[in-house]
A and B are shown apart, each in its own frame.
Chain A
């Protein structure tokens, strides 16, 4: 069976908030917020992306050698990857500066990897890499709040008035809205022989979870530092961040199942 640890995540919006959804011809909203089953949500992919970004940032800030402008060789297994098949020019610059690893984590290594077997970075260990599941299941966060509507516009620089056809209505969720969901950490998967906090035994070509062989991280530290603290550290979510949107406060509480 699978042993899981569950945590309730509560996101309280500190500012107006929106995660853009798909246009629904029935609602008439031009730029709607994301709604699932009639309820406004923070989608799992948005929260997972924000968490991954926080984990990456934490690892870079913790281990990158600013004085020598490089990643220390002995800490190489802790260097995060950019999980994308192709990198933008700006991302390539981050790789050049050794803030990130050049190759996205993947399993197994193939012919194109040459003689080098690639490691799985901590962020991918938790959240999944190409060809390999992670240990976390990030939830959709649901709210009982209703979305209001605002509109944005553009000023014609020459006339100093609102430009023609520039009014764009968009939906927004007010501050002090509450979103809730349950995060799952797979602690033990007896069937697949997985134990959270331990390197996975992988049969095909890979350097695997080398970062866990450094002896610096135990299960409690991983959960506290890389999951719970990182979640609480997310201060901005969603879109329109440059317009005063997106400030959030996140609390995480372990859900204990009563014995017997």
Chain B
């Protein structure tokens, strides 16, 4: 099992969902399988692409910020109900793409669009290739998961055991306009697997 590691940078990123009728849209602090894989498939096609990611842990990057905006009333030219979104600025993350016939030829550097509000200036990400990883024995450990992976893809990333699960649901698109939610392991789960999936590298 081999992976290609990319560095992800972005000015502004907002990932996550707004609760129906809610006026606040929070952002999540990791890069789930569905977000990064979907963004890659949008560029390279609906091929055999599988990827996960996480944000780096340092004080200089991934700062949380807020933006309030509002739709306008066309009749009287005033703002309607204000909506607030939470987003990350100065984003720096690591992406791990499963190496296969499709992904081995990915460019050293390319751009993708990921997350919410893409038509409003959010979500432009640059991926720069760093290294290739062999998922060999010494690089495996037990620890806390740093990303979100659907259960059906745990094996794809070499997760060999789930010790303490934290479950949630990720959206799996079935077409451009429909999809289903699939049970997934969320960050905070305790697992046995490759070190790059673990907080602090499994330490």
Contact = CB atoms under 8 A, between A and B. Distances in A.
Given A22-B66, A84-B80, A140-B121, 14 more contacts: A21-B68, A22-B65, A37-B63, A43-B121, A44-B119, A46-B69, A82-B74, A88-B76, A91-B75, A133-B118, A137-B113, A137-B118, A138-B120, A140-B11
Interface of A: 1-2, 20-22, 34, 36-37, 43-49, 53, 56, 82-84, 88-94, 100, 107-108, 127-128, 131-134, 136-140, 181, 191-192, 203-204
Contacts of B163: none
A46 B69 CA distance: 7
Interface string B110-122: 0001000111111
Contacts of B45: 191
B84 interface: yes
A28 to B, nearest CB: 17
Contacts of B12: 36-37, 140
Contacts of A191: 41-46
B136 interface: no
Given A191-B46, A204-B177, A90 B76 contact: yes
Interface of B: 11-12, 41-46, 63, 65-69, 71-76, 80, 84, 89-90, 113, 117-122, 124, 175-177
B117 A45 contact: yes
Given A37-B89, A43-B121, A94 B74 contact: yes
Contacts of B44: 1, 191
Given A45-B67, A84-B80, A191-B43, A56 B120 contact: no
Closest 7 CB pairs of A and B: A90-B75, A44-B121, A44-B120, A45-B69, A140-B121, A22-B66, A37-B89
Given A88-B76, A192-B42, A134 B119 contact: yes
24 contacts: A2-B42, A2-B43, A22-B84, A34-B67, A37-B11, A43-B67, A48-B119, A48-B120, A49-B69, A49-B71, A53-B72, A53-B74, A84-B71, A88-B76, A91-B73, A91-B74, A91-B75, A94-B74, A108-B177, A127-B119, A134-B119, A137-B124, A138-B119, A192-B176
A131 B80 contact: no
Contact of A137 (B71, B90, B119): B119
A43 B71 contact: no
Contacts, number: 102
A44 B117 contact: yes
Contacts of B80: 84, 88
Nearest to A1: B43
Contacts of A37: 11-12, 63, 65, 89-90
A128 B119 CA distance: 8
Given A44-B122, A138-B120, A20 B68 contact: yes
Contact of B119 (A92, A94, A100, A133): A133
Among the interface residues B12, B75, B177, which one has the most CB atoms of the partner chain A within 10 A?
Answer: B75
A82 to B, nearest CB: 5
Contact of A107 (B90, B118, B177): B177
Contacts of B90: 37
B118 A203 contact: no
A93 B74 CA distance: 10
B35 to A, nearest CB: 16
Nearest to A133: B119
A202 B118 CA distance: 21
Contacts of A91: 73-75
A25 B76 CA distance: 33
Contacts of B63: 37
Contacts of B76: 88, 90
A47 B121 CA distance: 10
Nearest to A126: B119
B84 to A, nearest CB: 7
A187 B22 CA distance: 34
B14 to A, nearest CB: 11
B68 to A, nearest CB: 6
A174 to B, nearest CB: 23
Contacts of A92: 75
B71 A83 contact: yes
Contacts of A88: 73, 75-76, 80
Contacts of B84: 22
